């Protein structure tokens, strides 16, 4: 039997001289109908370029296929060599044979058309359906991707849907053409874990329903376990290891695969939490947050009538003692970042108190942001970047300051001569180290880490986490660690606070919360963490949506009732 | 220095830079008096002579050497263009930055004022200023400066709004950096590229506007030569002495071409989208 897709010695290059700038160097694989191949690698490994070459979308990004062949079996049984096909043939292939979903569903959908219109368009172009038939088909497609109230949702615009819903709409559009091959390029990376689990389950179900083949691209080797038949690990444009899923995961042959498997933060259900620096009873907190409320006005209509308020943070209280890490976990929109921003004074608070210890530093709370590319001014060199907090605190740019800069640079593992370089000369991990050094310039007591390692590749992530733990011990820092990644949280947190829909639902010692979650949301969050060990577990698809946070003016939520679930472990009682 | 080399590597940048440099040298020579003839002296017996070895670009009705006058005129026109664009760039940048930074009401007020100014033709505004101050070089500079301010305010405001929302500005706030520091280091420094391009292109338009104002007698006053003045003087003798019109006309055209080519090259070089990414 001929495979659906057969790639031999594929090479792809970029730039004026594609031969000299190859990012994919001789990749070969076969994919049989109905099979799923997972391509795993870190950023820059060539995994996306390989996938984009299969439907020749790589041409639009300036890439050129410099060698090899891509034989695709079309639905009529003929074999097409994609590398030699002309554009008109490729358009047909993209429309009907190969479907593709991307990482960010918001940028893949057209914001000025309803999702219904966009799905109908897919049916019109690929199946020739018109009018009521197209609308009906679009509704069926939405039902097929398990969107509740499909008929209503057709009239929604992309921005009215959540990230997970948008990705489902994208999938609905792609399966409209009934493709034989679905390429999914990091389809869940931008989504929350619980939503990610939903999308993965959906993809697995659709694959068996429709008999599609799938190429699943991801940086997270833990994620592929549940869905792939074959796995290909890429590094620097070369497939370093490929084979059947179980063989590769259980018995990796190549060093890089072993390294990846080791670097992936494994979630151990609370058994791998830190044992050092646990909370000293009676220590004076460096930050106390008492009944914090942050609301944003929600206006509607031409005259901006106040239509209530977004209750971003509602009655959050916690404290943070020196040397401890409190992780705030929750989905996007749960209010965890807003809480951090309120502590730093970046957003105004509606009610509540935030007390910060005024000890050794003029600015006791500093912050490290998620995106190391956006949080450094590209036009300033490292010296200018590091000097900024000190200048803001009224210090002068003298030899003493330079000394502290070089000390911190070497401490975070950057070369001393980095002072004269600019941010674009550093990698993502190095930039994040730079941000950490900058946050430490004023010798703060508390560092807020807002998804500080989420944008980094797994192996880099592990090293930055180690650095953070070392720095915490050395400088006696307290961390407020905001993350959606439970495995990372398990490695760094002493205590965990779980937020859901603007409210704290569970807080306590990390080991206790992770091993014995009490609140139903915490349970859901922990069950959704992908893990190689749990690869056989099957997720059920459900359509639960996060409740709307917009409340009418004057609405006050009922006072929270708490119960103790152990020493240092409190759970909010759930109202039914 | 890197920018300079990049301009020289760019084909249209090379031509543009060469033209601008040539004009600057000619204007400088004219300014220090190194002209073939005295630009204001009237050689009465040599009136309306066509171009020759003695008078390279011919002479006008009063017997003045066109080439020497042109050298002075270029300097005069460039002075007005540079001064007005400098004023407009400075004012526009400040207004655009503050509009973006303060936002809300201030943004609305400042930018609506800019919109009103943008609707004003330079000539009309110049007439108004002439009515108050009388014609002259200062009038040209003021009028062109005011009319071009909104262009810079807009060019600065839009990217400044985007920069304001970037994380590095938010990070600066968490350090407690002062507003002037954030405005200069984080916003202005990142606006250098679009501003440079806009200044070069505005110079070309300013040159043309200056010529127009002088042509109408609102700018530089005779006998001092400027490109517009020379064109105005030539118009009654278009058929008898075409060189009087052709050479100033060509000069204006060439100068604008030079600035535009140079500006295009800068835009290509400074635009991050056309830059090759470091590997």
Average pLDDT over residues A342-367: 83
C-alpha closest to that of B211 among B167, B256, B243: B256
- Specify the pLDDT at position B273: 52
Computed over every residue of chain A, the mean pLDDT equals 83
Question: Which pLDDT score is estimated for A498?
Answer: 93
Residue A547 has pLDDT above 70, yes or no: no
Q: What is the pLDDT of residue A299?
A: 65
- A536 at B interface, C-beta within 8 A: no
A389 at the B interface (CB within 8 A)? Answer: yes
Statement: residue A162 has pLDDT above 80: no
Confidence of residue A280 (pLDDT cuts 50, 70, 90): low
- What pLDDT is recorded for position A563? 85
Tokens of A517: 């979650």
Sign of CA dihedral A513, A517, A520, A524: positive
Whole-angstrom distance, CA of residue B148 vs CA of residue A103: 44
Q: Which two tokens stand for residue A424?
A: 């674009």
Question: What is the predicted pLDDT for the residue at A497?
Answer: 93
- Which residues, in sequence order, are CB contacts of A322 under 8 Å at separation 6+? A283, A284, A286, A445, A476, A477, A478
Helix (H, G, I), strand (E, B), or coil: what is residue A380?
coil
Q: How confident is the model at residue A356 (pLDDT cuts 50, 70, 90)?
A: confident
Q: Minimal Cα–Cα distance from B189 to chain A, Å?
A: 7
Give the DSSP H or E segment for A31: strand A22-31
What gap in Å lies between CA B65 and CA B62, rounded to an integer?
9
* Comparison of pLDDT for A537 and A551, the residue scoring more: A551
pLDDT reading at A313 higher than 50: yes
DSSP per residue, B33-83: T--SS-TT---GGGTTPPS-SSSTT-B-TT--BHHHHHHHHHHHHHHHHHH
CATH homologous superfamily of B27-45+69-261 equals MetI-like (1.10.3720.10)
Residue A535 has pLDDT above 60, yes or no: no
Q: What is the mean pLDDT of residues A545-567?
A: 76
Note whether A340 and A367 are within 8 A (CB). yes
Using CB atoms, pick whichever of B174, B178, B278 lies closest to residue A346: B174
> Chunked in runs of 10, what are the mean pLDDT values of chain B (279 residues)?
79 90 91 83 82 83 86 90 95 94 88 90 82 85 91 93 88 87 90 89 91 87 85 86 90 93 86 47
Q: Which residues of B touch A378 (CB under 8 A)?
A: 190
pLDDT value for B8: 83
Spell out which residues of chain B touch residue A367, defining contact as CB-CB under 8 Å: 171, 174
Closest chain A CA to residue B188: A379
Does residue A543 surpass a pLDDT of 60? no
Q: Which of A297, A315, A316 is nearest to A307 (CA)?
A: A297
Token pair for residue B12?
A: 């249209």
**Closest A-chain CA to B186:** A377
How does strand A36-40 pair with strand A230-235? parallel
Note the pLDDT of residue B155.
92
A432 and chain B in contact, CB less than 8 A: no
Q: How far is A213 from chain B (nearest CA, A)?
A: 34
Contact B278 A377 (CB under 8 A): no
Looking at per-residue pLDDT, the higher value among A327 and A335 belongs to A327
Asked if residue A255 has pLDDT above 60, the reply is yes
pLDDT of residue B193: 85
- Quick one: pLDDT band at residue A469, thresholds 50, 70, 90? very high
> Between chains, do B177 and A388 touch, taking CB under 8 Å as contact?
yes
Look at residue B279 in the predicted model and tell me its pLDDT.
32
Distance between terminal CA atoms of chain B? 22
At B275 the pLDDT is 47
- Portion 227-246 of B in contact with A at CB < 8 A: none
Judged by a CB distance cut-off of 8 A, whether residue A391 touches chain B is yes
* Across A215-235, average pLDDT: 85
How many residues appear in chain B? Answer: 279
Q: In chain A, where are the structural domains located?
A: 5-263, 269-357+498-576
Residues of chain A positioned with their CB less than 8 A from the CB of B176: 362-363, 389, 392-393
Chain B residues whose CB is inside 8 A of the A304 CB are none
Within an 8 Å CB–CB cutoff, is residue B9 touching chain A?
A: no
ipTM above 0.85, yes or no: no
pLDDT for A347 beyond 50: yes
Give the tens place of pLDDT for each residue, A67-103: 888 888 887 778 888 888 888 888 888 878 888 888 7
Q: What is residue B84's predicted lDDT score, i.e. its pLDDT?
A: 95
pLDDT value of position B255: 93
Minimum-distance CB partner of A375 among B171, B176, B278:
B171
pLDDT of residue A277: 65
pLDDT at B254: 93
Characterize B143-158 residue by residue with b for buried, 16 or more Cβ atoms within 10 angstroms of its Cβ, and e for exposed: bbbbbbbbbbbbbbbe
Contact A366 B175 (CB under 8 A): yes
pLDDT at residue A124 above 80? yes
DSSP labels for A98-154? EEEE-S-HHHHS-TTS-HHHHHHHHHHHHH---HHHHHHHHHHHHHHTT-TTHHHHT
Please name the residues between 152 and 181 in chain B that touch chain A, using a CB distance below 8 Å: 166-168, 170-178, 181
Of the pLDDT bands very low, low, confident and very high (cuts 50, 70, 90), residue A1 is low
Among B160, B170, B175, the strongest candidate for a mutation testing the A interface, having the largest count of A CBs within 10 A, is: B175
Chain A residue numbers touching B178 (CB-CB < 8 A): 392
Please say whether the beta carbons of A206 and A144 come within 8 A: yes
CA distance A313 to A557: 11
Closest in B174, B178, B278 to A367, CB measured: B174
pLDDT score of A548: 67
Q: Between these two residues, A413 and A302, which has the higher pLDDT value? A: A413
Cβ–Cβ below 8 Å for B192 and A369: no
Query: For residue A449, what pLDDT band results from cuts at 50, 70 and 90?
Result: very high
Are the beta carbons of B40 and B230 closer than 8 angstroms?
no
pLDDT at A429 over 80: yes
All residues of chain B having their beta carbon less than 8 Å from the beta carbon of residue A442 are 175
Task: Report CB contact under 8 Å: B175, A369.
Answer: no
Cα separations (Å) of A481 from A132, A434, A502?
Answer: 51, 18, 17
- Within an 8 Å CB–CB cutoff, is residue A530 touching chain B? no
Top-ranked range on mean pLDDT: pick from A235-239, A451-455, A469-473: A469-473
> Hey, CA dihedral for A400, A402, A405, A407, is it positive or negative?
negative
Architecture (CATH level 2) of domain A5-263: 3-Layer(aba) Sandwich (3.40)
* Among A176-185, A530-539, B67-76, B138-147, the least confident range: A530-539
CA-to-CA dists, residue B178 to A450, A460, B157, B169, B186, angstroms: 23, 34, 20, 11, 11
Contact A455, A372 (CB under 8 A): yes
Comparing CB atoms, the residue among A344, A374, A379 nearest residue B167 is A374
Residue A207, pLDDT score? 84
Per-domain residue ranges for chain B?
Answer: 27-45+69-261
Q: How many CB atoms lie within 10 A of CB A125?
A: 14
**pLDDT for the residue numbered A47:** 86
**Predicted pLDDT of residue B15:** 92
């Amino acid at each position: 039997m001929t495979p659906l897709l057969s790639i031999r010695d594929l090479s792809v290059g970029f730039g004026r001289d594609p031969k000299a700038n190859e990012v994919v160097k001789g990749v070969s694989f076969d994919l049989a109908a109905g099979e799923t191949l997972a391509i795993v690698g870190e950023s820059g490994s060539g995994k996306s370029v390989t996938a984009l070459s299969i439907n020749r979308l790589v041409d639009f990004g300036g890439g050129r296929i410099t060698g090899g062949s891509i034989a695709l079996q079309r639905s009529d049984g003929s074999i097409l060599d994609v590398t030699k096909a002309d554009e008109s043939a490729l358009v047909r292939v993209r429309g009907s044979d190969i479907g593709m979903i991307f990482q960010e569903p918001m940028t893949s959908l057209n914001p000025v058309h309803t999702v219904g219109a966009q799905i109908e368009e897919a049916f019109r172009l690929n199946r020739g359906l018109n009018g009521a038939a197209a609308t009906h088909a679009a509704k069926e497609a939405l039902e097929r991707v398990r969107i509740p109230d499909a008929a209503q949702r057709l009239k929604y615009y992309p921005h009215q849907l959540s990230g997970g819903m948008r990705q489902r709409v994208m999938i609905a559009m792609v399966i409209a053409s009934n493709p034989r091959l679905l390429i999914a390029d990091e389809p869940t990376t931008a989504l929350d874990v619980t939503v990610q689990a939903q999308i993965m389950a959906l993809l697995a179900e659709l694959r068996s329903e429709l008999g599609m083949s799938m190429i699943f691209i991801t940086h997270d080797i833990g994620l592929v376990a549940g869905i792939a038949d074959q796995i290909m690990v890429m590094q620097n444009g070369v497939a370093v290891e490929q084979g059947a899923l179980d063989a590769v995961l259980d018995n990796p042959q190549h060093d890089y695969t072993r390294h990846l498997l080791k670097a992936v933060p494994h979630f151990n259900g609370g058994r791998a939490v830190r044992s050092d620096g646990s909370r000293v009873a009676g220590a004076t907190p460096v930050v106390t947050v008492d009944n914090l409320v942050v609301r944003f006005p929600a206006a509607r209509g031409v005259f901006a009538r106040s239509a209530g308020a977004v209750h971003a943070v509602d009655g959050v209280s916690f404290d943070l003692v020196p040397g401890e890490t409190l992780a705030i976990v929750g989905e996007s929109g749960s209010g965890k970042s807003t809480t951090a921003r309120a502590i730093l004074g970046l957003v105004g608070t509606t009610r509540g108190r935030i007390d910060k210890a005024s000890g050794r530093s003029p600015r006791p709370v500093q912050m490290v942001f998620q995106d190391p590319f956006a949080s450094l001014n590209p036009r300033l060199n490292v010296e200018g970047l590091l000097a900024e907090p000190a200048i803001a605190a009224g210090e002068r740019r003298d030899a003493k300051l330079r000394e502290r800069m070089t000390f911190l640079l070497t401490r975070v593992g950057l070369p001393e001569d980095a002072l004269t370089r600019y941010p674009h000369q550093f990698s993502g991990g190095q930039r994040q180290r730079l941000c950490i050094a900058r946050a430490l310039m004023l010798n703060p007591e508390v560092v807020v880490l807002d998804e500080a390692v989420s944008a980094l590749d797994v192996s880099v992530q592990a090293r930055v986490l180690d650095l953070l733990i070392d720095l915490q011990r050395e400088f006696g820092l307290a961390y407020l660690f905001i993350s959606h990644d439970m495995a990372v949280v398990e490695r760094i947190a002493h205590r965990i606070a779980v937020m859901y829909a603007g409210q704290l639902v569970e807080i306590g010692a990390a080991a206790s919360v992770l091993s014995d979650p009490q609140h139903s949301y915490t349970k859901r969050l922990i069950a959704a963490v992908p893990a190689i060990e749990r690869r056989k577990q099957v997720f059920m698809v459900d359509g639960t949506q996060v409740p709307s946070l917009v409340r009418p003016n004057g609405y006050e939520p009922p006072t929270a009732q708490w119960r103790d679930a152990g020493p240092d472990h409190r759970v909010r009682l759930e109202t039914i | 220095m890197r920018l300079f080399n990049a301009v020289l590597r760019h084909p249209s940048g090379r031509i543009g830079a060469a033209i601008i440099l040539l004009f600057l040298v000619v204007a400088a020579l004219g300014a220090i008096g190194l002209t073939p003839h005295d630009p204001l002296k009237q050689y009465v017996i040599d009136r309306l002579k066509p171009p020759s070895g003695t008078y390279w670009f011919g002479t006008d009705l009063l017997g003045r050497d066109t080439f020497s006058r042109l050298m002075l005129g270029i300097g005069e026109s460039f002075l007005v263009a540079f001064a007005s664009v400098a004023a407009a760039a400075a004012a526009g940048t400040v207004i655009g930055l503050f509009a973006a930074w303060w936002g809300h009401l201030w943004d609305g007020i400042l930018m609506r004022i800019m919109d009103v100014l943008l609707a004003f033709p330079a000539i009309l505004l110049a007439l108004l200023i002439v009515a108050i101050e009388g014609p002259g070089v200062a009038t040209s500079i003021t009028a062109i400066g005011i009319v071009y301010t909104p262009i810079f305010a807009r060019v600065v405001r839009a990217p400044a709004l985007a920069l304001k929302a970037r994380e590095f500005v938010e990070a600066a706030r968490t350090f407690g950096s002062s507003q002037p520091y954030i405005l200069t280091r984080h916003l202005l420094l990142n606006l250098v590229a679009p501003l440079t391009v806009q200044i070069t292109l505005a110079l070309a338009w300013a040159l043309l506007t200056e010529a127009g104002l002088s042509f109408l007698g609102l700018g530089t006053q005779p006998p001092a030569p400027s490109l517009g003045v020379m064109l105005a003087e030539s118009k009654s003798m278009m058929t008898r002495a075409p060189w009087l019109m052709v050479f100033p006309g060509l000069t204006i055209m060439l100068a604008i071409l030079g600035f535009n080519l140079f500006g295009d090259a800068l835009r290509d070089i400074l635009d991050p989208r056309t830059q090759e990414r470091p590997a």
